[in-house]
A and B are shown apart, each in its own frame.
Chain A
Amino acid sequence: MKYIDEFREQSLAHKLAADITAEVKPGRKYRLMEFCGGHTHAIFRYGVQDLLPSHVEMVHGPGCPVCVLPISRIDQAIALASGEDIILCTYADMLRVPGSNQGSLNKARAAGADVRMIYSTQDALQIARDNPDRQTVFFAIGFETTTPPTAVAIMQAKQEELSNFSVFCNHVLTPAAIRSILDTPEAVPLDGFVGPAHVSTVIGTKAYECFAADFKKPVVIAGFEPLDIMQAILMLVRQANEGRHEVENEYARAVDRDGNLKAQKLMAEIFKLRPSFEWRGLGEVPDSALAIREEYKAFDAEKRFSIEWKEAKEIRGCECGAILRGRKKPLDCKLFGTICTPDNPMGSCMVSAEGSCAAYYSYGRFRSAA
Chain B
Amino acid sequence: MSRRYVSPLNLKHGCVDLTHGSGGRAMAQLIEDMFVKHLDNDWLRQGNDQAQFLVAEGRMVMTTDAYVISPLFFPGGDIGSLSVHGTINDVAMSGAAPLYLSASFVLEEGLPLKLLDNIVASMAKASKESGVPVVTGDTKVVERGKADCIFITTAGIGIVPEGVDISGDHAQPGDVILLSGTIGDHGVAVMSKRENLEFETTIHSDSAAMHGLVADMVRAVPGIRCMRDPTRGGLAATLNELAGQSGVGMALKEADIPFKPEVRAACELLGLDPLYVANEGKLVAICPKKDAEKLLETMRAHPLGQDAAIIGEVVEDEHHFVQMQTGLGGNRIVDWLAGEQLPRIC
* Interface presence of A114 (CB below 8 A): no
B residues less than 8 Å from A91 (CB atoms):
345
Give chain B nearest CB distance to A5 CB in angstroms. 8
**Interface code B89-118, partner A: CB below 8 Å = 1, 0 otherwise?**
000000000000000000000000000000
Contact residues on A (Cβ < 8 Å of other chain), bracket: 35 or more
* Interface presence of B24 (CB below 8 A): no
- The segment from B131-139, B149-157, B336-344 found at the interface with A is B336-344
Contact residues on B (Cβ < 8 Å of other chain), bracket: 20 to 34
Per the bound structure, the CA–CA distance linking A198 and B271 in Å amounts to 14
**Interface code A32-59, partner B: CB below 8 Å = 1, 0 otherwise?**
0000111000001111111100000000
User: Do residues A47 and B332 form an inter-chain contact, with CB atoms below 8 A?
Assistant: yes
B interface secondary structure, majority: loop
* Interface presence of A361 (CB below 8 A): yes
User: Do residues B328 and A364 form an inter-chain contact, with CB atoms below 8 A?
Assistant: no
User: Do residues B335 and A362 form an inter-chain contact, with CB atoms below 8 A?
Assistant: yes
* Interface presence of B58 (CB below 8 A): no
A1, A119, A364: which contacts B268 (Cβ < 8 A)? A1
User: Do residues B346 and A354 form an inter-chain contact, with CB atoms below 8 A?
Assistant: yes
Decide: A37 near B346, CB < 8 A? Known: A119-B196, A362-B338, A363-B335: yes
Tell me which of A44, A66, A362 has the highest count of chain B C-beta atoms within 10 A of its own C-beta. Answer: A362
**Interface code B231-257, partner A: CB below 8 Å = 1, 0 otherwise?**
000000000000000000000000100
User: Do residues A46 and B330 form an inter-chain contact, with CB atoms below 8 A?
Assistant: yes
A residues less than 8 Å from B332 (CB atoms):
44-47, 363-364
Per the bound structure, the CA–CA distance linking A292 and B327 in Å amounts to 44
A65, A341, A364: which contacts B346 (Cβ < 8 A)? A65
User: Do residues B197 and A119 form an inter-chain contact, with CB atoms below 8 A?
Assistant: yes
User: Do residues A10 and B196 form an inter-chain contact, with CB atoms below 8 A?
Assistant: no
Nearest B residue to A10 via CB reads B329
* Interface presence of A92 (CB below 8 A): yes
Q: Which of B299-346 contact A (CB under 8 A)?
A: 319, 321, 323, 325-333, 335, 338-340, 342-346
Give 18 pairs: A residue, B residue, CB < 8 Å, sorted on A: A1-B261, A8-B328, A9-B328, A10-B329, A38-B344, A46-B328, A47-B325, A51-B328, A92-B342, A92-B345, A118-B196, A119-B197, A123-B196, A146-B346, A342-B335, A342-B338, A362-B333, A363-B332
3 tightest Cβ-Cβ pairs between the two chains A and B: A47-B330, A342-B338, A92-B342
